[in-house]
Amino acid sequence: MRRGCEWFTNRAESIWKSQPGRSMLLLVPQGCDETSAAEEVISWTSRNFKPPKKYNAYLPICLRVTSDSIESSEHFAITIARKISRKLNIPLELEDGDFPSDILQNAVEAALNKSYFPILIIERFHAFAMIPDWGMGSVLSRMRSLEHAGQLTTLTFSPFGYEMIRRSMDAAQPFLNSVYGDNHDQAVMTPLSKSDFLHTATILGVAAPRAHWLYAKGGGPDMVYRELINAASMDDDKIIDHCIARTGATIDKFLERSFAEAGVDRQLLLAALALGRLAKPQEAFLLNNPLSDFVAKKKESGELTCSSQIIARRILQGNQPKWALYGQCLEAFSEGDLARAGELAKMLDDEAIRLVAFRGLITLLSAVTFQSGRGLLGIEWDTASKISKQLIEISDVCLEPFTDWIQRMFEWSKVILNTKGANSSRLQADAFTKMAADRETRLILLFMMSSLVKAAERLNTPLERVMTLVNIPEAILQSLAAGFCGIDYSNAPNETPAADYSEYFGSSGQFNFPTPGKKIALSSLLVIVPAILKQKKTRFTGRLIDTSYIKPLHQKLIDYVRNPASHTFVAFSEKDANFLLPLCNEWIETWLKMEGFNRIEDLPGVYDAPNLQKMSEILFG
């Protein structure tokens, strides 16, 4: 993805101008392509290297070694000697018993005698330093002496510095007690540039506007950006989760290797960064880390925040008890488990406005999403009223995208709580559906019932699904009767509306309209609603006016499901659930179209509700 190595060349030009040939440690974070970086560095160095003054006229010779292929100090020294021998076509005599440090020095001197200045490039130096061989101590010492004498330049690549390498070692490893690297300068890879990202993305067929949008979601090592390009064709709300899933292990290793300091609780520090809650000492400490630009950026306000939601959310998936709750809460939200998200939100107590807003929104979303055994059709409108009122009173820019939705939930909760029959969820639902002549009331009902039906799909057993859905067809018909037929199911009209009722009557004989003033039962609603909808030529009624569809429901819906569920315990089968769930889904979809919506996502209360992306933006700033 990178088209150059300016992060190295800028530093090398500067340091070699004042100290020609000085050795360097090149920090390349985990998740960035060290191999490609080494190739770019070698290419530039072979053309632009400035050797020490004594060897100013010498030609550079780059000797590349990958530590994974090195087995011992002797193997390393012989590898260097053979590379010099082959490249310069000079014989080197190697005898059994030669010390590795002597082999190395003889090879370096042979190159110098041919007017070539050796530049040793060691990839994955951290692995090289951990080779369990006591001879490595003398090799490192000799390399240091040659570097100090201006006879050798070494460029080491590693995802972390020498001190951290030493801290990760046990007492038996030679590098621990070595002072190697004390004379090295340091070049630090910078985060992937926008121009490099856009160049790669467009080559791979990503449209320019999409590439710009994707880059803004990035942060951290290059692998994150690569995965963003791979996910370019996915839905926007799935990209962050996809990238976290694909790069999570690499991000973990990157954070572990790049931000481990003695005496510092790394997870606590990073969690504070992820939530934009860094204390000043933490901020100063983080900025002192050479790789801080990969995880942190400054907002216009000067506040330090995490470089991307991908990094921030991965941090919060860690095991720091308090801060991890935010990550777990967001994860539950992304999985559609609002019940768990709501329970986790109850344990959050941070007083920062942004985090108070996050907690409130999660709690409100949980309250207005169906959960079995509570409130009206599974929704806690009393909680919704309380939380929406609290959120309205918060004056902060972070809540501006949700102002209309919060206000809607507050107004809807007032309508619900002022409805008669509040002491019983079933009675309240009955009382509410008869008010559905009002369109806003119908939309509230449609919002609640669609949430219930969607939740029923995830219930484990047929019994749970059937018992959750068993009253929904009747509630839908009651609502449609009030809204589109002018019929109050609780009070049959004195005059029978004109319609062909016999067309939808499931039994032989004539259909008798319910007695005026009496409640209209489900069996009658199954006749009256389709007949009047057809008579009125109501648009988008679908199969609700199809006689071949409606008439069999008298047997299936009333006798087969509704009556047994009302009177006794029934061991429902998967077949029963598979009959009722599609029916409810179809009726909800038909009702949506009758109200003028193409899909549930267009419904008020749904289309303007906080989504994963917006919730992430609140949490991570």
> What are φ and ψ of residue 464, in 5° steps?
-60, -45
Write out the DSSP string of 248-259: HHHHHHHHHHHS
Structure tokens at 488: 């109050």
β-bridge mates for residue 120, sequence order: 63, 154
359 and 438 both lie in a single domain: no
β-bridge mates for residue 188, sequence order: 27
Structure tokens at 480: 């449609």
Rounded CA gap, 137 and 69, in Å? 19
Q: How far is CA 360 from the centre of its chain?
A: 20
Q: How far is CA 229 from the centre of its chain?
A: 15
Written as one letter, the residue type at 346 is K
| 609 within some domain | no
| 616 within some domain | no
200 and 182 both lie in a single domain: no
Q: Beta 304-306 vs 296-298: how paired, if at all?
A: antiparallel
Yes or no: say if 509 and 620 are a contact pair by the CB < 8 Å rule.
Answer: no
Yes or no: say if 245 and 310 are a contact pair by the CB < 8 Å rule.
Answer: no
**Can you give the pTM of this predicted structure?**
0.65
Yes or no: say if 72 and 101 are a contact pair by the CB < 8 Å rule.
Answer: no
β-bridge mates for residue 1, sequence order: none
Domain holding 83: CATH number?
A: 3.40.50.300
- pLDDT at position 425 is 45
- pLDDT at position 172 is 58
Q: How far is CA 514 from the centre of its chain?
A: 55
- pLDDT at position 423 is 46
577 and 491 both lie in a single domain: yes
- Which residues, 6 or more positions from 344, have their beta carbon under 8 angstroms from its beta carbon? 325, 328, 329, 332, 362
264 and 402 both lie in a single domain: no
> What are φ and ψ of residue 450, in 5° steps?
-65, -35
Yes or no: say if 476 and 591 are a contact pair by the CB < 8 Å rule.
Answer: yes
307 and 209 both lie in a single domain: yes
Q: How far is CA 182 from the centre of its chain?
A: 41
271 and 315 both lie in a single domain: yes
Which residue is associated with the tokens 């060349």?
9
DSSP H or E stretch at residue 456: helix 439-456
User: Which of 373, 394, 426 lies at the terminal end of a domain, its last residue?
Assistant: 426
Looking at the structure of the chain, the number of domains it has is 4
Yes or no: say if 610 and 405 are a contact pair by the CB < 8 Å rule.
Answer: yes
User: Which of 404, 426, 448 lies at the terminal end of a domain, its last residue?
Assistant: 426
Q: List average pLDDT for each run of 10 residues in the chain, which is 621 residues long.
A: 95 96 96 96 96 95 90 91 93 80 94 96 90 85 95 96 79 72 95 97 96 95 97 90 91 87 72 82 88 90 86 77 80 89 85 91 96 86 95 90 96 86 54 91 96 88 84 94 95 93 83 93 94 95 94 80 55 76 95 95 94 88 68
- Which residues, 6 or more positions from 372, have their beta carbon under 8 angstroms from its beta carbon? 378, 455, 459, 464, 468
Which residue is associated with the tokens 């990035």?
218
Rounded CA gap, 576 and 584, in Å? 13
| 610 within some domain | no
Rounded CA gap, 483 and 474, in Å? 14
24 and 149 both lie in a single domain: yes
| Burial category of 166 from C-beta neighbours within 10 Å (exposed 0-12, middle 13-18, buried 19 and up) | middle
Q: Name the region of 322 (left: φ>0; alpha: ψ -120 to 50; beta: rest).
A: alpha
379 and 402 both lie in a single domain: yes
CA distances from 11 to 161, 413, 506 (A): 17, 62, 86
| 342 within some domain | yes
362 and 236 both lie in a single domain: no
3-state secondary structure at position 360: helix
| 613 within some domain | no
- Residue closest to 410 by CA, chosen among 446, 360, 372: 360
User: Which of 290, 319, 348 lies at the terminal end of a domain, its last residue?
Assistant: 319
50 and 184 both lie in a single domain: yes
β-bridge mates for residue 123, sequence order: 66
274 and 170 both lie in a single domain: no
| 515 within some domain | yes
| 587 within some domain | yes
Rounded CA gap, 329 and 333, in Å? 6
Q: Could you give the angle at the alpha carbon of 515 between the alpha carbons of 514 and 518, nearest 5°?
A: 90
Strand order in the sheet with 59-66: 59-66, 116-123, 153-158, 24-27, 185-188
The DSSP 8-state label assigned to residue 390 in this structure reads H
528 and 412 both lie in a single domain: no
| 497 within some domain | yes
Structural domain for 52, as ranges: 6-188
Structure tokens at 252: 């973990």
Q: Name the region of 150 (left: φ>0; alpha: ψ -120 to 50; beta: rest).
A: left
Q: Name the region of 527 (left: φ>0; alpha: ψ -120 to 50; beta: rest).
A: alpha
3-state secondary structure at position 427: helix
Which residue is associated with the tokens 């016999």?
502
β-bridge mates for residue 154, sequence order: 120
Which residue is associated with the tokens 């959310």?
313
